[in-house]
């Protein structure tokens, strides 16, 4: 076991070690120090007034050197070879390097700009949510002017006098049972007014549902009547029309109601197609004959994304269609999705042979 320990200098010079007392733990040195045995090793504790008594070598220039020098210790001066790696030097003062100062200024500016952008984005999001909330409020208030059935088997019962007291440009009411589509329809002298204007004349992010100004009011008079509505990202307005590019969703819609002050039209979906805002064929309203209308609808069927299985046969019996148009965002804001609907009597082949609307498809209301 002795080989695991090194002999101290005192052990090697054993003849100079004073004898231990009976306790064997302390011995008095001639210079006044105390020798103490600790854990198999020896250390000497000399009086603090005599640091040399413990045998510690002393250098005249030995002194405590702080990691950060004082202002007058002569060590704060930097060597010409010193390269700074952060914006503070060892003295604790900021670097005076103009490049680092410029970098600090740029960092602060970028931080401020970043905070401003975050605040702006948050403000825009809050404002957008408020706009959608206001649009929902407007829609709910207008919806109160019509009573609709729970199952959609009966048409909406509309308070026309109440609607006209708010805005006399109302021409009809459109409803797709089982969806959010349940709105009054307005018609202005252009197609811009109701894009972002409410029925009361104020700003509304979703505007109102409106009929093309070129159509003969109140609709279902021309070969094609075209109604526009915004595709709202929260699922309201005409978002349902855009969803009907899915065949399952399309097949799930069996009835579309269009009600005017004088007549009620029960329709059903024929097809859905997509185009862009510059397509002139989308706004064709009058046709020289039913055959011309049939050719037009057959062309739409050729580019339809969803349709009823017997669409071609139905087209051959059609003399009027109601088309609902909204935006799609697959190609920016320029895309359009259009749902073409036909009166159920024409789809079923029960329309009057003279072209007039039969009682079960368009009924006069008192």
At 304-317, the pLDDT tens digits run 999 999 999 999 99
Range with the lowest mean pLDDT among 13-22, 229-238, 247-256?
13-22
Predicted local distance difference test score (pLDDT) of residue 77: 53
What mean pLDDT do residues 322-343 have? Answer: 91
Predicted local distance difference test score (pLDDT) of residue 307: 98
Greater pLDDT, 92 or 166: 166
Q: Is the distance from CB of 347 to CB of 335 less than 8 angstroms?
A: no
Cα 37 to Cα 25: distance, rounded to the nearest angstrom: 6
Predicted local distance difference test score (pLDDT) of residue 300: 98
Predicted local distance difference test score (pLDDT) of residue 118: 93
Greater pLDDT, 56 or 292: 292
Question: Shortest CA distance to 137 belongs to which of 206, 53, 70, 54?
Answer: 206
pLDDT level of residue 65 (50, 70, 90 thresholds) = low
Q: Tally Cβ neighbours within 10 Å of residue 54.
A: 14
Highest mean pLDDT pick, 38-52, 67-81, 110-124: 110-124
Cα 277 to Cα 9: distance, rounded to the nearest angstrom: 101
What mean pLDDT do residues 246-258 have? Answer: 97
* Beta-carbon contacts of residue 319 (< 8 Å; ≥ 6 apart): 223, 290, 293, 346, 351, 355
Which token pair is 133? Answer: 């909330």
Predicted local distance difference test score (pLDDT) of residue 346: 93
pLDDT level of residue 100 (50, 70, 90 thresholds) = confident
Cα 172 to Cα 264: distance, rounded to the nearest angstrom: 9
Predicted local distance difference test score (pLDDT) of residue 361: 52
Check pLDDT > 60 for residue 333: yes
Check pLDDT > 70 for residue 79: no
What mean pLDDT do residues 68-88 have? Answer: 52
What mean pLDDT do residues 236-252 have? Answer: 96
Predicted local distance difference test score (pLDDT) of residue 72: 52
CATH class of the domain defined by 129-364: mainly beta
Check pLDDT > 70 for residue 24: no
pTM given for the model: 0.68
Domain boundaries, the chain: 129-364
Question: Shortest CA distance to 315 belongs to which of 350, 286, 346?
Answer: 346
Which token pair is 304? Answer: 């339809």
Greater pLDDT, 224 or 124: 224
Percent of the chain with pLDDT over 70: 69
29 membership: H or E segment, kind and range: none
227 membership: H or E segment, kind and range: strand 224-228
Chain centroid, CA 67 distance in Å: 52
Predicted local distance difference test score (pLDDT) of residue 5: 41
pLDDT level of residue 290 (50, 70, 90 thresholds) = very high
Predicted local distance difference test score (pLDDT) of residue 46: 44
Predicted local distance difference test score (pLDDT) of residue 355: 47
């Amino acid at each position: 076991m002795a080989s695991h320990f090194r002999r101290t200098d005192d052990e090697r010079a054993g003849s100079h070690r004073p004898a231990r007392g009976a306790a064997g733990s302390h011995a008095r040195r001639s210079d006044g120090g105390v020798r103490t045995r600790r854990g198999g090793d020896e250390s000497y504790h000399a009086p603090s007034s005599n640091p040399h008594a413990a045998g510690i070598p002393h250098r005249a220039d030995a002194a405590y050197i702080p990691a950060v020098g004082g202002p007058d210790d002569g060590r704060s001066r930097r060597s010409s070879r010193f390269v700074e790696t952060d914006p503070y030097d060892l003295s604790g003062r900021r670097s005076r390097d103009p490049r680092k100062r410029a970098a600090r200024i740029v960092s602060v500016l970028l931080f401020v700009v970043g905070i401003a952008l975050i605040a702006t984005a948050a403000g825009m999001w809050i404002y957008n949510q408020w706009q959608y909330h206001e649009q929902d409020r407007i829609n709910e208030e207008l919806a109160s002017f019509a009573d609709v059935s729970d199952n959609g088997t009966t048409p909406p019962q509309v308070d026309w006098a109440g609607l006209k007291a708010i805005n006399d440009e109302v021409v009809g009411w459109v409803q797709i049972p089982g969806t959010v589509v349940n709105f009054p329809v307005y018609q202005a002298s252009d197609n811009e007014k109701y894009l972002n204007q409410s029925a009361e004349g104020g700003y509304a992010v979703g505007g109102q549902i409106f009929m093309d100004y070129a159509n003969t009011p109140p609709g279902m008079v021309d070969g094609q009547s075209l109604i526009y509505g915004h595709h709202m990202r929260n699922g309201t307005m005409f978002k349902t029309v855009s969803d009907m590019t899915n065949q399952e969703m399309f097949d799930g819609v069996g009835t579309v109601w269009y009600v005017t002050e004088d007549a009620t039209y029960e329709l059903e979906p024929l097809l859905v197609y997509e185009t862009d805002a510059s397509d002139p064929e989308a706004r064709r309203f009058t046709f020289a004959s039913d055959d011309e209308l049939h050719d037009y609808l057959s062309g739409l069927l050729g580019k339809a994304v969803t349709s009823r299985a017997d669409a071609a046969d139905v087209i051959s019996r059609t003399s009027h269609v109601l088309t609902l148009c909204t935006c799609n965002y697959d190609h920016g804001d320029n895309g359009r999705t259009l749902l073409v609907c036909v009166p159920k009597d024409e789809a079923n082949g029960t329309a009057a042979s003279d072209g007039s609307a039969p009682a079960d498809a368009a009924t006069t209301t008192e």
